[in-house]
Amino acid sequence: MNNETNFAPGRSGASTRIGVAGASGKLGSLVLDGLLKVTPPDQLAAIVRSPEKAARFASRGVQVRRGDYSDWETLIPALAGIQRLLLISATDLGRRVEQHQSVIQAARAAGVEHIVYTSVLRADTSTLPIADEHRETEDLLRTSGLTYTILRNGWYIENYTERLEMPLAHGGFIGAAQTGKIAAATREDYAEAAVAVLMSGGHEGKTYELAGDYGFTMKDLADAVSGWAGTTLPYTDLPPAEYRKILGSAGLPDAIVDLLVATDIAIARGDLNSDNRDLHNLIGRNTQTLRDVLTNLVKPEARSGAAL
């Protein structure tokens, strides 16, 4: 099976130094953009489920290979010749451990030397509902026989700034996070850290706790968005049971309701707060702030046809 898409340049079977698995996603795309600034494109492989979604990287000389976390037959050919692999965690909650295990096993069979994995902040102790699958994947890496680096990414600021239509439409934020702080950073910050690890040595066996330099509470978020939007958008903190009831009445599936409520409870416990400087040190600068991100967004009154 030839796993390189027909629009990818480069010699079939040529050694490729770095592969990015999940390269067509938002984080993966930013990592590839960063790698292209510091390494030749023919030394990079974008491993994606749908090669057509990575066409812009193929046009820049990156090898684009079909590699589906859920399709074992695609994985070993996709990983052939790769020395260092960034394994971006899958998005299919509940199936991620088996998917990650397939990639790790295929990487070993294909001769990959080192895996860098994107986990979650303090995965070993976190009560976040997504932490279990990350813990299990970390254990798989430790017993894989491969060298590895674990990047425990904190929350993305974009988790909030890309979902502002709802609070704008309803005049405020609700949740059950109390005064818990969220040491979030941007995808760009986390991508830059991944590039730094992929492009340098000395990271074998290390686990980095990656958190933003400027934590904020949900009230801080509401205040910042209010200033950006030019209107008052308060944060109303609710008991978890009441928050769950409101989310359910909005028609959200039970699984999503459970995820949102459990995440806020974990935030209230401090699971997404950290004063760790690993991210700052890897990228060599302060992380971006919530206000930095908001400054670059189109304000509500300037949105054409936006549903507010």
Tokens of 205: 């066996």
Tokens of 88: 């971006």
Chain segment 148-174, per-residue pLDDT in tens: 999 999 999 999 999 999 999 999 999
What pLDDT is recorded for position 288?
Answer: 98
CA–CA distance from 274 to each of 155, 215, 242, 280 (Å)?
11, 8, 28, 12
Tokens of 235: 């944060």
CATH tag for 16-154+185-210 (out of 3.40.50.720, 2.60.40.1180, 3.40.120.10, 3.40.30.10): 3.40.50.720
Chain segment 245-301, per-residue pLDDT in tens: 999 999 999 999 999 999 999 999 999 999 999 999 999 999 999 999 999 998 876
What pLDDT is recorded for position 284?
Answer: 98
Q: Where are the domains of the chain?
A: 16-154+185-210
Instruction: Label each residue of the chain as H, E or C.
Output: CCCECCCCCCCCCCCEEEEEECCCCHHHHHHHHHHHCCCCHHHEEEEECCHHHHHHHHCCCCEEEECCCCCHHHHHHHHCCEEEEEECCCCCCCCHHHHHHHHHHHHHHHCCCEEEEEEECCCCCCCCCCHHHHHHHHHHHHCCCCEEEEEEECCECHHHHCCCHHHHHHCCEEECCCCCCECCECHHHHHHHHHHHHCCCCCCCCEEEECCCCCECHHHHHHHHHHHHCCCCCEEECCHHHHHHHHHHCCCCHHHHHHHHHHHHHHHHCCCCCCCCHHHHHHCCCCCCHHHHHHCCCCHHHCCCCCC
- Model confidence band, residue 13 (pLDDT cutoffs 50, 70, 90): very low
Q: With contact defined as beta carbons under 8 Å apart, do 185 and 128 qualify?
A: no
Tokens of 199: 């492009």
Chain segment 32-80, per-residue pLDDT in tens: 999 999 999 999 999 999 999 999 999 999 999 999 999 999 999 999 9
Chain segment 103-148, per-residue pLDDT in tens: 999 999 999 999 999 999 999 999 999 999 999 999 999 999 999 9
Q: What predicted TM-score, i.e. pTM, was given to this entire model?
A: 0.91
- Model confidence band, residue 16 (pLDDT cutoffs 50, 70, 90): low
> What's the rounded Cα separation, in Å, for the pair 98 and 189?
28
